[in-house]
A and B are shown apart, each in its own frame.
Chain A
Amino acid sequence: MSTTVAIILAGAVLTYLTRVGGHIVLSRFERIHPRVEAGLNAVPAAVLATLVAPAAYHGGPAEIAALVVAGLVALGVSGMMTMFLAGAAVLILLRQLLG
């Protein structure tokens, strides 16, 4: 087995452990404290924001405009696709114009 395959498989095992581990640890507790519950409710937005913020921070005018437009569209439309396409369109257009 090559080193690359070993790295991939080790990464896969650890990744699976993260996906099953949270549940295994949490299911040991009968009741969930309200603060823990509040924390768990905040997880998705908290994690996903960390994948957006540094990209926005390092982005130029085209990237920032794309995020602003996509964010505004998301306020009015419930589906993902419209906001995603609006953001992508602004990004590509501005990169062609500004680049």
Chain B
Amino acid sequence: MSTYVHSETSLRSDFLDGMRAGVPVVVASAPFGILFGALAIDNGFTVFQTVLMSATIFAGASQMVGLDLFGQKVAPWLIVFSIFAVNFRHVLYSAAIGRRIRHWPTAKKVIAFFFLVDPQYAESERRIANGKDIGFGWYMGLGSLVYVFWILDSLVGAVFGQMISNTEMLGLDFLLPIYFLGLVMGFRNRPLFLPVVLASALGSVVAYQTVGSPWHVSIGALVGIAVAVLAPVKASVARRQ
């Protein structure tokens, strides 16, 4: 790829490309944004606090966990810590994406890392796997679309949430695992895919049953990553070819 500064037209077309990649993400996350808004009101948040949480934390699963604990009147520091624990996986995304955007100016990196949510990370890795660069334009096209809709979904959920009477029949509570499974399957051509996924799955279920949520995410992921780290290096290189 050329390292020349992109012209304004190509920046715009990259931005539009990024937005296009964000459309399925927006569609898939909308039910959760709306559900979050409705649950936030249910747990005693104001509309302002609901929107503030989506706009500043911008991480669905941790926002749900935070709400849940808030409703249980848990100590504030524990709520903050749980949000941190659920989002700790972003350290790993940051390290992985940081390798790809190392050459960006610091100001752009400072902005970009704010938008590094699960689908942002997954779509970026998918684009790299397809042999394309992730430029600031593409990255922000994707990130800003997902961000704006996440806030709007929360607002819609907060205002109209009480109208959803039977969320279970609509399957709202189980759309997230289906979506995450789709993201998992997107990585199936990577070296050691099956052993890593099986180890993580097993580790997370055991952790869920013993230590409990939200630690199953970090523990399960570490088990899967340990398998990849400890596997013979040659085997993983050979498989990549």
Contacts and interface: CB of A to CB of B under 8 A. Distances in A.
B205 A57 contact: yes
Interface of A: 2-12, 14-16, 18-27, 32, 34-36, 38-57, 59, 63, 66-67, 70-71, 74-75, 79-81, 83-84, 87-88, 91-92, 95-96, 99
A6 B231 CA distance: 44
What's the interface size class on B, roughly? Answer: 35 or more
A8 B57 contact: yes
B91 A51 contact: no
Contact of A18 (B88, B181, B224): B88
A22 B183 contact: no
Contacts, number: 278
Given A7-B80, A50-B203, A43 B24 contact: no
Contacts of B108: none
Contacts of A2: 49
Contacts of B191: 38, 41
B178 A49 contact: no
Contacts of A48: 118, 122, 180-181, 183-184, 187
Interface string B214-241: 0011011111111111110100110000
A49 B192 contact: no
Given A15-B59, A18-B88, A53-B201, A6 B76 contact: yes
B221 A46 contact: yes
B154 interface: no
B28 interface: yes
A79 B185 CA distance: 11
A14 B80 contact: yes
A71 B185 contact: yes
Contacts of A63: 174, 177
A46 B70 CA distance: 29
Nearest to A15: B87
B170 interface: yes
Given A50-B200, A50-B221, A84-B24, 18 more contacts: A11-B53, A22-B96, A24-B94, A25-B95, A26-B94, A26-B95, A35-B233, A38-B233, A41-B190, A42-B225, A43-B225, A44-B96, A46-B222, A47-B200, A52-B201, A70-B182, A71-B181, A95-B171
Contact of A53 (B80, B88, B200, B222): B200
Nearest 9 A/B pairs, CB to CB: A23-B98, A22-B94, A46-B224, A42-B228, A50-B220, A22-B95, A50-B204, A12-B56, A53-B201
A8 B208 CA distance: 25
B114 interface: yes
Nearest to A26: B95
Contacts of B62: 11, 15
Interface of B: 24, 27-28, 45, 49, 52-53, 56-59, 61-62, 66, 70, 76, 79-80, 83-84, 87-99, 102, 109-110, 113-114, 116, 118, 121-122, 125, 168-171, 174-188, 190-193, 196-197, 199-205, 208, 213, 216-217, 219-231, 233, 236-237
A53 B227 CA distance: 17
6 contacts: A8-B66, A42-B190, A47-B224, A70-B182, A83-B181, A91-B178
